[in-house]
Amino acid sequence: MAMQLTSEQQAMLDGAQGEVMAKVMRSLVMYGETFGAEKMVPVTSKYGHTVISFGIGVMKPVYDLYDQLIAAGALPKQQFSADPLPLDKNVPSNLLQDIIFKGIMYSQQKRYEEQLKKFGIMDGDAYTCACYLDEVGNRPQKGEVLSWAESSAVVYANSVLGARCNRNSGMIELMGSIAGCVPYFGLLTDDGRRADWVVEVRTEKRPEAQLLGSAVGMKVMEQVPYIKGLDRWLGTELNDENCAYLKDFGAATASNGAVGLYHIENLTPEAKEQGEGLIREGAKVYVIDDAELERVKAGYPCVWKDLGAKPKLCFIGCPHLTKGQLKDWTDKIEAALKKNGLEKVTVPTVMTAPPAIAREYANSWDGARLEKTGVILSYICPLMYMNNPLSGKMPVITCSNKLRTYTTARYYTEDEILGMITGGVR
């Protein structure tokens, strides 16, 4: 069925604002028609978010297209945040890596950051995948329509904040912000937000967020899960600790599968309001106990050439850590080092957080405690750091299931990582 456009939208499609704007609108219309959208709806959030924060040389066609947009005056109607920057001099790298990072791999970085300024990046602190944290300021309200990309941010905005956003791809999300409208389908609709799966959590201890998310994502893929039994471990309030847990859980569902929305019984907003009324008739059931989580974890492949290699680097914070998580890690690392009679971490460790949080924390008393342990605090995107031949060959460990999925980094639970970096476990 052809989409019904407003006269303004139709004029844009017909070229009233130039051929480039017509192509922007044509891309959005085709995108919507593919999914049966009958209309466009206005983007109502104050800010957008783009997944593209990196100027990778091989992606040059993307920046060439963006030059076309800028030249034609096809600019977003809202300011936006972007994913984390790929480079930070504080993160350990050798001379060869520096040459590859700056000279070859991110050869388009300067060009792209200039483009982002013209498009309307919020400010220099707006580079984070966790843009919805208070310190960043891009926190949409319940019911607002977004044109975002970044799988972990989209699933958080939908699930924890109750905003409405499809799992848009990079580039198309910017086009939605430029046109000021997005096609109405999928997670924007009430029906698209109903659950196709019931996930019953029957573990005997609080499940690791990124492991549980991985199991759920790999099972339900792009469908919507309604999760029962997790409130036993998290309670029923969306406090800072639970929001951080859901941030990590969601990132794993979105990267290990393609989840754009989940409901947690008695906890997330729509599950609290509508309860089991959200569940579709005939929804499939997936039971997760401790053995299932072990099975999932044991199934992760590891492509290290030497499976017994000593880790050379550890990344914690994909997606970016909250202030509370930084404090929690600081306490745990300090205590574990003290217990083991050590002062510094035994594996070079980088923790990543939004720029504003990292800066504020570094200047705090707790930040000084973290620095004493030898941990490096950065705003970098660990994924971007790992995406090159040199880093890819390094034995890097992480408690991020997202980082594991896209790179050669090896996954361990948070407790395992703590043991490994504080000399407790090899």
Partner 1 sequence: MARSFKGRSVVPGNCTAEALVSHGGFNTLASFQMAMMFGDKKVKCGDQNNPDLYKKPMKGKALCLPQTIGSTTGGMVLYTACATDNQPACLLFSMTIDSLAASGAILAANWTDAKMPVVDQLGDEFLSYVEDGMQITVAEDGTVTVE
Site residues, partner 1 (CB under 8 A): 23, 26-27, 30-31, 34-35, 51-52, 56, 58-59, 61-62, 65, 105, 149-151, 154, 166-173, 186, 221-222, 254-258, 300-301, 303, 387-389, 392, 405-406, 408
In the complex, minimum distance from the CB of residue 60 to partner 1, in angstroms, rounded to a whole number: 8
Of the two residues 62 and 316, which places its CB atom closer to partner 1 in the complex?
Answer: 62
In the complex, minimum distance from the CB of residue 61 to partner 1, in angstroms, rounded to a whole number: 3
SS3 69: helix
Of the two residues 323 and 402, which places its CB atom closer to partner 1 in the complex?
Answer: 402
In the complex, minimum distance from the CB of residue 107 to partner 1, in angstroms, rounded to a whole number: 12
In the complex, minimum distance from the CB of residue 171 to partner 1, in angstroms, rounded to a whole number: 5
Distance separating alpha carbons of residues 182 and 285, to the nearest angstrom: 32
Distance separating alpha carbons of residues 393 and 407, to the nearest angstrom: 10
Q: Respond yes or no on whether the N-terminal peptide bond of residue 319 is cis (omega within 30° of 0).
A: yes
In the complex, minimum distance from the CB of residue 98 to partner 1, in angstroms, rounded to a whole number: 17
In the complex, minimum distance from the CB of residue 143 to partner 1, in angstroms, rounded to a whole number: 20
- Helices 365-372 and 355-362: crossing angle, nearest 10°? 90
* Cα 323 versus chain centre, distance: 17
Distance separating alpha carbons of residues 333 and 43, to the nearest angstrom: 43
Written as one string, the DSSP assignment of 165-233 is: ---PPTTHHHHHHHHTEEE--GGGSTGGGSEEEEEEE--SSPPPHHHHHHHHHHHHTTSPEEEESTHHH
Of the two residues 221 and 342, which places its CB atom closer to partner 1 in the complex?
Answer: 221
Of the two residues 319 and 354, which places its CB atom closer to partner 1 in the complex?
Answer: 319
Of the two residues 346 and 405, which places its CB atom closer to partner 1 in the complex?
Answer: 405
Residues forming a β-bridge with 227: 199, 264
SS3 361: helix
Of the two residues 92 and 392, which places its CB atom closer to partner 1 in the complex?
Answer: 392
Of the two residues 9 and 151, which places its CB atom closer to partner 1 in the complex?
Answer: 151
In the complex, minimum distance from the CB of residue 110 to partner 1, in angstroms, rounded to a whole number: 19
Report DSSP state, residue 263.
E
Distance separating alpha carbons of residues 227 and 231, to the nearest angstrom: 9
Of the two residues 23 and 164, which places its CB atom closer to partner 1 in the complex?
Answer: 23
Closest by CA position to 336, among listed 323, 350, 321, 347: 347
In the complex, minimum distance from the CB of residue 405 to partner 1, in angstroms, rounded to a whole number: 6
Of the two residues 35 and 290, which places its CB atom closer to partner 1 in the complex?
Answer: 35
In the complex, minimum distance from the CB of residue 194 to partner 1, in angstroms, rounded to a whole number: 17
Amino acid at 330: T
Cβ atoms < 10 Å from Cβ of 250? 30
Are 320 and 82 within 8 A, CB to CB? no
Scanning the structure block, which residue is given the tokens 């930040």? 367
Distance separating alpha carbons of residues 188 and 168, to the nearest angstrom: 12
